[in-house]
Structure 1
Amino acid sequence: MADSPQDNPAQGSAPHDVIIVGGGLAGGLIALALHRHAPGCRFLVIEAGRTLGGHHRWSWFETDIAASARPLMAGFALNGWDAGYDIAFPGLARTLPTAYRSLASAEFHRALTEELPPESVMLEAKAAHLDAGGVTLADGTRIAAKRVIDCRPFRSSKHLGGGWQVFLGQHFRCEQPHGLTRPVIMDASVDQIAPYGNEPAYRFVYVLPLSPTEVFVEDTYYADQPKMDADVLKGRVAEYAHRNGWKGEVIDQEAGILPVISGGDFGAALSEIAIPGVALAGARGGFSHPLTSYTLPFAAENALAIARLIATRPDCSGAELAAFCNRRAKRHWRATAYYRMLSRMLFEAAEPGKRVVVFEHFYALKGQLVERFYAGRSTWPDRLRILTGKPPVAIPRAIRALFSSGKPFDTKPLNMETPA
């Protein structure tokens, strides 16, 4: 049972060295890195939900994570596939050799709460106000800290542009073995329709064989609007499972809408949410892959970088930590400019019903190029190769997209009808 703010021993009179607001992927990994690599650091994770990590599944290619960051993930029980993964398109089917990993949020919560000191985690506690000297909870409780890190969810900004990745996944327990031995990272042989009706959009199904009789099936879309009709997506997942002969019960479900950032004024977007003296991390701080929306590799690297800074400079101020994270965020933004340009090509140059051709063109390239792309480490020859050959988009539209700053995000709340 979660401690109430009044009962939690983390509220002692001595200030904490670090308070992490938001116990999702980024916040949880920062806490883990501090626990392992800055053992003298007194930290506290404040999470509004009942569990760390929320209700998600994070997946990544083994090569996405730098070798130095892999030990950070070693304590989690992962689903893993070393025999590669499959992709399918209307005119292309391949098996690529890269190993793949997946982490369920339930395991994330279990592993963290077993390893972290109990007094370092505060669940079901909503932070109402953050500042350089600490955090004030919604019930008025004040918790002092030398440094504060804001790891709350991404907030849409009028200063950023792009599209959206919309998804709904269901975990099936099948009556009979499903027969899969590898993940299907992208099955785009399905109808290319939007997640909220019959408009065209890039759609694919993502499949993870979690055990011989359990399979995770996710319907995913690159859509222009941040909305979904969850009942429609449930029906499409059920139809896909039926088509593959997978009969059984749904034992879990998740759904979400993620930004696919294609451009904008990053400095202005950060200024909109920045709090003086408070560090920004996670997707809120801009640490994601602009085209795939992957966050785990960047979250792991950031967690270790923050822990190293605090371990080597225990006198580092909150303002210095905030500046450190800001520099890393701006460096990440510059390093991922190429992927934002590809996002603009996808959302502004390619017609919605023909975006599948863009991805099919990409997946026909060499496996190591694909591997480096997902890791955000594409070489200059890779970048040229991706853009050469018969263009899957009209040249005039491609030129306009090249010089665009992205279609501005709608800052209204995300629209998830009949949410899961």
Structure 2
Amino acid sequence: MSGRANNTTRTEIAIVGGGLAGGLIALALRQARPDVAVHLYEAGPALGGNHRWSWFDSDLDTAGNALLAPFRKIGWQGYEVRFPAYQRKLKARYNSLSSADFEPALRRELGQDTIRTGTPVAALDAGGIILADGTRVSARAVIDCRDMATDSTLRGGWQVFMGRHFRTPRPHGLAQPIVMDARVDQHGAYRFVYVLPLGADELFVEDTYYADSPELDRSALSARIDRYCEAQGWDGTILHGEAGVLPVITGGDFAAWQRAHAIDGVARAGAGGGFVHPLTSYTLPFAVETALAIAADADLPGEQLAALLADRARRHWAQTGFYRALGRMLFDAAKPDERYRVFQRFYRLRQPLIERFYAARSTTADKARILCGKPPVSILRALSALAGQSAPLRERHRP
């Protein structure tokens, strides 16, 4: 069902934003507490937007995998990385979920009367929401899952990307994902190409940049994807495309950021609540954890739920400081065209360490191993980067 909220003027939990975080919270609540009335409001025409989310098996526990069970996913046993001086095949299982598969599963699991797409929300407060058409929906708890807002309280760089899903006229022959192919011109950033074999004759190719600017030049990136595919001998019919810009957080005043974007009594989840890997911009493992935590405390009053999630976000920020420090080394110590050397060295490390890194669960020994040995950047520049602060993440124009 899409359009206005019909006659609904009361619900127990109102979730605003039908992306990954909002959708998984609604699903976790439906699975754990079907007795709790939940409504999910999305301004766009479909849930999940226009995205693809990927993760390793080790990112999720049994409960997390159970939450994702209803979705059609693609998985591969192993993946590759390719750098100018080093190539490697790793054995970890890698998984991917597209928004095209996310929405139909949610509609099936939640029921059409739970979902309100094409329904912008004009205002949120502790007691409910006001839709763009003026309808007031009261709620015991309101959860804000809209996009992350960036401003000068946070610092860092940007991950700029453009992806293309296409069908080849013949089998392409790629059996495993290429998570990073950095054997490409860097263009003043850490650039790599990400490739997923979605079928024998289907590929997803994404051109990604760790850049100082959030500028997304669609024409330039599209042409570079063309050249990369041509060099691999791939061509075909374009089925789908996506593009975006994500913050890579390297520091800042998280408490000030929380205060600047908080609404009294409203819980915040997803990237908009700060639940993101600060260096890779991965969100899925944290969205799953947060959804399960909310479902476990589904009876909390809205203000207590808001306080619970704000505290979880502060703990997440404290626990991920190591990755922000690595981000400062990437952006501020490495020359832009040589940033790839950081990851080229990183991918020589043991596979379990790499998996824990992506899950933001690096051990003390992992951190020491990542930092020890000959650094891929100047020691003086590295020390200066660790001691300094990156550029502010000011609000950007949407691509």
Which bin holds the TM-score, normalised by the shorter protein?
A: over 0.9
Deviations 1:319-361 (A, max 9, x none): 1000000111011001101000000110111110110111101
The answer to whether the 8 Å contact 2:196/2:204 transfers is yes
The answer to whether the 8 Å contact 1:19/1:46 transfers is yes
- Equivalence for 1:382: 366
The answer to whether the 8 Å contact 1:178/1:246 transfers is yes
The answer to whether the 8 Å contact 1:85/1:183 transfers is yes
- Equivalence for 1:18: 13
1:71 partnered with 2:66: yes
**1:345-356 alignment to 2 at 5 Å?**
345-356=329-340
Deviations 1:3-25 (A, max 9, x none): 323xx25x14xx31100000000
The answer to whether the 8 Å contact 1:204/1:219 transfers is yes
> Which residue type is aligned with residue 399 of structure 1?
L
- Equivalence for 1:4: 4
1:167 partnered with 2:155: no
Q: How far apart, CA to CA, are the structure 1 residues paired with 2:54 and 2:396?
A: 28
The answer to whether the 8 Å contact 1:176/1:246 transfers is no
Q: Report the CA distance between 1:413 and its aligned residue.
A: 2.0
SS at match of 1:220: strand
Greater shift, 228-237 or 19-28, is seen at 228-237
Deviations 1:135-161 (A, max 9, x none): 001111111101000000011121000
**1:71-90 alignment to 2 at 5 Å?**
71-82=66-77, 84-90=78-84
> Which residue type is aligned with residue 22 of structure 2?
G
Aligned length: 399
1:337 partnered with 2:321: yes
- Equivalence for 2:49: 54
Q: Percent of aligned pairs with the same residue?
A: 53
Indicate which of 308, 326, 333 corresponds to 1:324: 308
1:158 partnered with 2:142: no
Greater shift, 36-45 or 389-398, is seen at 389-398
> Which residue type is aligned with residue 321 of structure 1?
L
Q: Report the CA distance between 1:68 and its aligned residue.
A: 2.4
Indicate which of 21, 26, 39 corresponds to 2:34: 39
Deviations 1:167-188 (A, max 9, x none): 0000010001000110000000
Q: Report the CA distance between 1:263 and its aligned residue.
A: 0.5
- Equivalence for 1:197: none
Indicate which of 283, 286, 303 corresponds to 1:298: 286
SS at match of 1:338: helix
Q: Report the CA distance between 1:67 and its aligned residue.
A: 2.7
> Which residue type is aligned with residue 74 of structure 1?
A
> Which residue type is aligned with residue 296 of structure 1?
L
1:240 partnered with 2:228: yes
* TM-score after normalising by structure 1: 0.93
Q: Report the CA distance between 1:232 and its aligned residue.
A: 0.8
Q: How far apart, CA to CA, are the structure 2 residues paired with 1:412 and 1:59?
A: 25
> Which residue type is aligned with residue 180 of structure 1?
L
The answer to whether the 8 Å contact 2:267/2:307 transfers is yes
- Equivalence for 1:196: none
Q: How far apart, CA to CA, are the structure 2 residues paired with 1:404 and 1:134?
A: 42
Deviations 1:17-49 (A, max 9, x none): 100000000000000000000111101101000
Q: How far apart, CA to CA, are the structure 1 residues paired with 2:370 and 2:76?
A: 27
Q: How far apart, CA to CA, are the structure 1 residues paired with 2:235 and 2:180?
A: 22
**1:7-406 alignment to 2 at 5 Å?**
8-9=6-7, 11-12=8-9, 15-82=10-77, 84-193=78-187, 200-310=188-298, 314=299, 316-406=300-390
The answer to whether the 8 Å contact 1:176/1:247 transfers is no
Q: Report the CA distance between 1:115 and its aligned residue.
A: 1.0
Provide structure 2 residue ranges, at least 5 long, that are not aligned to the other structure. none
* TM-score after normalising by structure 2: 0.98
> Which residue type is aligned with residue 371 of structure 1?
E
Q: How far apart, CA to CA, are the structure 1 residues paired with 2:17 and 2:75?
A: 27
Q: Which runs of 4+ in 1 moved over 4 A?
A: none
> Which residue type is aligned with residue 171 of structure 2?
P
The answer to whether the 8 Å contact 1:160/1:406 transfers is no
CA RMSD of aligned residues (A): 1.0
> Which residue type is aligned with residue 192 of structure 1?
Q
Q: How far apart, CA to CA, are the structure 1 residues paired with 2:368 and 2:330?
A: 17
- Equivalence for 1:411: 395
> Which residue type is aligned with residue 236 of structure 1?
R
Q: How far apart, CA to CA, are the structure 2 residues paired with 1:345 and 1:243?
A: 32
